[in-house]
Chains A and B, each alone.
Chain A
């Protein structure tokens, strides 16, 4: 089974803090994604990566950055957390084969910024 793990299920940070959200997948997938989930808005893509050290902006990249130094790990960074970044963050991965669009999700990190 594909397993995608996220470093924290719940996180509480203060405004202005630098926040790291970590995601690890164990299926040697090329593609990894960070989404943000808010009620009534579904999932919105923040950033994605299709290879080590490669990244592309998604639909809402402002206020976020990412890092992918190893194939299995994809980190989301909030350089200076703000209250409007309080949300559920979901990481996903997928292969680049025929079924490359099928994504496997982690359990999510619920981030609260005070």
Chain B
């Protein structure tokens, strides 16, 4: 069974600083990988996804993520954080076969200081 680890429960960055949120997954083959964002009181919105091909994927709101098979990682990055990026971020993994549901990490809460 697949699993996802987000080692950082809470991160605080200053507005304008760069951001990297870590995600490590466990799965026996190349997985589907996702990053979702949840703003306060809202449902989850898809930021970006990786299915195959180029290991650097671009998403919405200026986010990008890089799939590194050797490290089983899919870290999310943004070069310059805006105050509106304050939210909770979830990494998720999906399988090519079998269960169609996603397995989510425990989330990383991002706080942005002015």
Contact = CB atoms under 8 A, between A and B. Distances in A.
Interface stretch (B54-62, B76-84, B102-110): B102-110
A40 to B, nearest CB: 6
A61 interface: no
Nearest to A101: B94
Interface string B23-53: 0000000001010100001111110010100
Contacts of B74: none
A101 B102 contact: yes
Given A40-B9, A41-B106, A48 B101 contact: yes
B100 A100 contact: yes
Given A90-B44, A107-B42, A42 B9 contact: no
A99 B94 CA distance: 11
B90 interface: yes
A50 B100 contact: yes
A58 B90 contact: no
A45 interface: yes
Those 8 A-B pairs whose CB atoms lie nearest each other, nearest first:
A101-B94, A105-B43, A42-B106, A43-B104, A105-B44, A42-B104, A107-B43, A101-B32
Interface of B: 4, 6, 9, 32, 34, 36, 41-46, 49, 51, 90, 92, 94-95, 99-107
